[in-house]
Structure 1
């Protein structure tokens, strides 16, 4: 397994930079933190850890820090450094690892911390290290003190332990969990005792503490460790129980987890270990513990705090100074520093490396039975990571949060065995809306809408509106019906009526790419699709109860995992993973700019608004990168100049469509009298661009003019247009027809018709609309985001330049 974005060895000067004298404190704004900055920090930490290596002692210190003994921690620092570097993407075959790993294989380690950490290394390495993993797992099992339900700092299974260390228990549990994922069997009795003692030690406020002689003090790091233990026992002991939908949803484990999460939500602090006490001496261990439990539980936030974003900012603030715009590791973390500095570097690197992995799927939490099988997404993303050989994570998002924040994953998974709670009270209103919408769409299609008639208004449901916003921004909803009842699937169909009244559900064909790419699926589950003509918006698995076979992996799981893997590949643009910090923008940029322009998206009888947020995406991009304040409106074509002459008329569609005589008269008047500019585009670019192709022919007949390449026009070259881009070379969406079959082709394919001796109507059989959303999706044939924005900006600037002279 490799982490997202394999580490690239930095130049020697990076290490010199890391040791340079600090020129000032670094203040990291977590809101603006980018993956590039995190990667720069990771590379500096990696090089610094390597610089700590001693030819003989490897990473073990000459003298152990205070409160640590050589007997307990011999080999532990070397194991921790190796684990951090390998987790960060350093190859175990790197010559610098040869002697440390060989010595770790031979060493008879005596401390629980050291053995646990070494076991975690073997779990990350190829199968030939499996005997070493089994050996360390056996050591942990044999060293388990059954009376105390924990481990001592050294192997003392029969010694009386009055206060077993919870951090030692944390390390031992993590090691056995890692071993179990590689096929090592962990005794159920040990796990059961571990679970019972963890629940028993939970404080009344929901937290866990580090035992001492005084009053128990709730601790952030120990609460994270306690929660992680229960997530692990929930997986290893109770997975089969959760397959039964009829079980009691309340249990000692789930209740303890809820109480612990409530405490974390109320007390989490990204800058310090809440609760203080002994845990305050190990701030980076606290960050490591938070990362471990957050990834195990799919937790996106604690108390509204993005734990990775804010934790990463805290780490950068602690470890680095500002070296005149460069990240400079503080001198105290150099090779001559304390052993505790190396420990902090290692825990920081583990946090930054694991936490930054892309989010493959978000699971929606709502009031009701949303999490019947709590390990379904865990097992999916674990399989996906192994299949794709790239670490990916999953997380829970709440229906109460802003849907734009859900876009850090391409898929929103909604799962239940009961109908959606926000649909039930609105069933009659939805039925009425469906009937009215069907009639309205029929009138619009045959051109019999009354003057000024508007589409029927759907019932206002906050949850539906949030899901609509997620889909409109480019997201895919995957809905999975659990159990034998179809009530959940039926409620998803009702919700779809509100989201896209004109869409119909299609059964995904057996030869659809969902079942064939990148993996050919054997047994194919029935899937229903609701599309906007450009891409799938909702995929519904109406039966089969597939999450039961995700909760516990068995022989039936393989085809389910393959299907879900293919769905993810297509939703992510064939695994175009985005770093966690850079994956989603919470909001569009408000329209602004020194150049004002206007655009009309024309309403016609076809699928004129397949991607409703495309124009909002364009407004945001033009404000950010082109200094254009764009006003965008939807208008009937015959009414396009109601608010004055727009600089650009956009007609978009996904199927062969004809325009009425009134529409053509309005277009002709607009391009002749008002010197207007028109773009006719096939959204999505599929079906050979039939929408644009059909209207190309109609326009040639109308204007008695040929359609020619636009490559010599100002729209492409930018010549004569103020601040225009040169669009003579463009980029296509990955895996599009142009990218695959036109390898190396970079010339744009816009075509145009001249009216009154000037280019006036432009045609694109390739997608522009979806590209403006800046979200990945496979089976989109067209321009990439930047090229689409630049072409649209030039079209608008050309429309501005074409404005009739003011009398």
Structure 2
């Protein structure tokens, strides 16, 4: 390795980058590489960095470009320094501190923020495809979703697709096509974690998620990535990943606007994972205060020893001390007062195996052991313009139980109905049973996770709403048995003459109205724990032969 390193010092930077990548691949596969090699490469990279923070070709040091970096070589220099950082400086972050990158990397990233382009090699003609390959390497190594305000993968993929030839190649050449394919394929690997950049010490362990996702990718032969996002972009930009990771070694400084964004991300289906780096008590206290504002109706509680995050794939002792906030359907947030980032940062694959396994369990729990979509596919639907073919007005029923566990569920449903079927769904305000009017809201929706009781007035109002032609859609959010038991008890009391039972598979709702429904999809955990069926399992209450109440004991709201 020493001879190779000395040889590299005399070569052009492109050769250096490719050679370093080869040595790095060997090191990741248990080839012993002396630390002196990585120090030599780091000295080489930092020595050749220009005053503007970029890099250029060594052979051009004496020409007119002297002192000015450009895109293709700046990405090569940065990618190389990130590899050196992983191999040389992991232990520099045992103690939490504010400055989490080397000076050369900080300067290089500032150059990228100021000069990134998806359509040309900045400050240099040619080598465009090699440059984009370097962009992909720096983007994945650094974790940053944006250079400046620009989403490097979205813009780069758009530019490459526009340039692809009819025969599938780029410029009809193998090398350019290879670089383009590497950008598109590696860059689109699913993103498992977003790491939140916020005012404060958010990045005390800069390589924690890089090492965790690399371990998960290798262990399960399923490539996953991570990235860094910030509070200055819309929540829609956060949905590349299902998990928002918030690490801190000082009190988090969230504004009310920031807290609203965090709440909206979770309401749209995301989960927050927070940890106190260096076991920082002020961060722990500050995060608890933030959670109390974000989720005022729910408590942060210690997760029991048999919770799936400890048992789903790996068996992990409950001594990890994880806490969670649940809406009765799913965990909205997972909080770890003891740090988890140190083991990830130091790549303690053996002595800290349980911490890596915990990360995998959280991954499988949040995704229901599902397959993540590629980068850029949002979990929250985009609103498309459409001309309504009909309008459906739906009131949401407010009752004494946990009546609104997923506040954005019907909003999501309305977007999908418009996008897919051109049906406009108007969602009414929360309405008590005693105020339901079928002439205003012909359909009402009721959900919950806990037991509840109806008053005599509410029972009478329910009976009148249905007798006057209204239709009620009811579901036990998350499949909660207590809510199901309460529905059956209270509705049978309110509707003594109604027939209650399973809705047959040949009912018009499944076969004639809208798309035909021959099978239903259930969450994997529910399917394995309760039943194994692909058929709809809806129940109903019939009044005078009319299906007046449609009830799902297996959830609709969370799905």
Residue number in structure 1 paired with 2:222: 390
Residue number in structure 1 paired with 2:463: 668
Given that residues 171 and 177 in structure 2 are in contact (C-alpha distance below 8 angstroms), is that contact kept between their aligned partners in structure 1?
no
Residue number in structure 1 paired with 2:389: 594
CA distance in structure 2 between the aligned counterparts of 1:184 and 1:738, rounded to whole angstroms:
44
Higher relative contact order (CA 8 A, sep 6+): 1
Given that residues 450 and 480 in structure 2 are in contact (C-alpha distance below 8 angstroms), is that contact kept between their aligned partners in structure 1?
no
CA distance in structure 1 between the aligned counterparts of 2:438 and 2:547, rounded to whole angstroms:
24
Q: By how many angstroms is 1:274 displaced?
A: 0.8
SS at match of 1:494: helix
Residue number in structure 1 paired with 2:184: 352
Establish whether residue 737 from structure 1 lines up as the match of residue 530 from structure 2: no
| CA deviation profile, 1:326-373 (whole Å, cap 9, x unmatched) | xx325963xxxxxxx111122222222211211111110111100001
Establish whether residue 228 from structure 1 lines up as the match of residue 60 from structure 2: no
Residue number in structure 2 paired with 1:329: 168
Given that residues 360 and 394 in structure 1 are in contact (C-alpha distance below 8 angstroms), is that contact kept between their aligned partners in structure 2?
yes
| CA deviation profile, 1:103-129 (whole Å, cap 9, x unmatched) | xxxxxxxxxxxxxxxxxxxxxxxxxxx
Q: By how many angstroms is 1:644 displaced?
A: 4.8
| Structure with the higher strand share, 1 or 2 | 2
SS at match of 2:320: coil
Establish whether residue 192 from structure 1 lines up as the match of residue 39 from structure 2: yes
Gaps of 5+ in 2: none
| CA deviation profile, 1:201-260 (whole Å, cap 9, x unmatched) | 222222111231312242111111111122122111111111112x5x448x53322222
Residue number in structure 2 paired with 1:779: none
Given that residues 637 and 666 in structure 1 are in contact (C-alpha distance below 8 angstroms), is that contact kept between their aligned partners in structure 2?
no
Structure 1 segments (4+ residues) deviating >6 Å: none
TM alignment of 1:499-514, pairs within 5 A: 499-514=294-309
CA distance in structure 2 between the aligned counterparts of 1:562 and 1:331, rounded to whole angstroms:
41
CA distance in structure 1 between the aligned counterparts of 2:352 and 2:170, rounded to whole angstroms:
51
SS at match of 1:240: helix
Pair 465,266 (structure 1): closer, same or farther in 2 beyond 3 Å: same
CA distance in structure 1 between the aligned counterparts of 2:508 and 2:471, rounded to whole angstroms:
11
Establish whether residue 717 from structure 1 lines up as the match of residue 506 from structure 2: no
Given that residues 381 and 394 in structure 1 are in contact (C-alpha distance below 8 angstroms), is that contact kept between their aligned partners in structure 2?
yes
Given that residues 481 and 489 in structure 1 are in contact (C-alpha distance below 8 angstroms), is that contact kept between their aligned partners in structure 2?
yes
Given that residues 592 and 630 in structure 1 are in contact (C-alpha distance below 8 angstroms), is that contact kept between their aligned partners in structure 2?
no
Select between 490-499 and 524-533 the one with higher mean Cα deviation.
490-499
CA distance in structure 1 between the aligned counterparts of 2:232 and 2:435, rounded to whole angstroms:
38
TM alignment of 1:453-492, pairs within 5 A: 461-492=256-287
Normalising by structure 1, report the TM-score. 0.65
Establish whether residue 145 from structure 1 lines up as the match of residue 19 from structure 2: no
CA distance in structure 2 between the aligned counterparts of 1:712 and 1:599, rounded to whole angstroms:
25
Q: 2:495 aligns with which of 676, 682, 703?
A: 703
Q: By how many angstroms is 1:287 displaced?
A: 1.3
SS at match of 1:361: strand
Given that residues 405 and 586 in structure 1 are in contact (C-alpha distance below 8 angstroms), is that contact kept between their aligned partners in structure 2?
no
Q: By how many angstroms is 1:639 displaced?
A: 5.3
Given that residues 670 and 676 in structure 1 are in contact (C-alpha distance below 8 angstroms), is that contact kept between their aligned partners in structure 2?
yes
CA distance in structure 2 between the aligned counterparts of 1:637 and 1:260, rounded to whole angstroms:
59
| CA deviation profile, 1:745-778 (whole Å, cap 9, x unmatched) | 333111111223311122110111111xxxxxxx
TM alignment of 1:187-266, pairs within 5 A: 187-211=34-58, 212=60, 213-215=62-64, 216=66, 217-245=68-96, 247=97, 249-250=98-99, 254-266=102-114
Alignment RMSD (CA, Å)? 2.3
Given that residues 207 and 263 in structure 1 are in contact (C-alpha distance below 8 angstroms), is that contact kept between their aligned partners in structure 2?
yes
Given that residues 682 and 765 in structure 1 are in contact (C-alpha distance below 8 angstroms), is that contact kept between their aligned partners in structure 2?
yes
Given that residues 310 and 318 in structure 2 are in contact (C-alpha distance below 8 angstroms), is that contact kept between their aligned partners in structure 1?
no
Residue number in structure 2 paired with 1:749: 537
Pair 199,712 (structure 1): closer, same or farther in 2 beyond 3 Å: closer
Q: By how many angstroms is 1:178 displaced?
A: 1.7
Establish whether residue 497 from structure 1 lines up as the match of residue 292 from structure 2: yes
CA distance in structure 2 between the aligned counterparts of 1:489 and 1:715, rounded to whole angstroms:
54
CA distance in structure 2 between the aligned counterparts of 1:478 and 1:740, rounded to whole angstroms:
26
Normalising by structure 2, report the TM-score. 0.93
Given that residues 503 and 532 in structure 1 are in contact (C-alpha distance below 8 angstroms), is that contact kept between their aligned partners in structure 2?
yes
Report the number of matched residues: 553
Given that residues 27 and 33 in structure 2 are in contact (C-alpha distance below 8 angstroms), is that contact kept between their aligned partners in structure 1?
yes
| CA deviation profile, 1:468-507 (whole Å, cap 9, x unmatched) | 1110011110000122432112222111112221211221
Pair 712,243 (structure 1): closer, same or farther in 2 beyond 3 Å: closer
Given that residues 589 and 621 in structure 1 are in contact (C-alpha distance below 8 angstroms), is that contact kept between their aligned partners in structure 2?
no
Given that residues 473 and 550 in structure 2 are in contact (C-alpha distance below 8 angstroms), is that contact kept between their aligned partners in structure 1?
yes
Given that residues 143 and 228 in structure 2 are in contact (C-alpha distance below 8 angstroms), is that contact kept between their aligned partners in structure 1?
yes
SS at match of 1:580: coil
Q: 1:294 aligns with which of 127, 139, 149?
A: 139
SS at match of 1:707: strand
Given that residues 522 and 534 in structure 2 are in contact (C-alpha distance below 8 angstroms), is that contact kept between their aligned partners in structure 1?
no
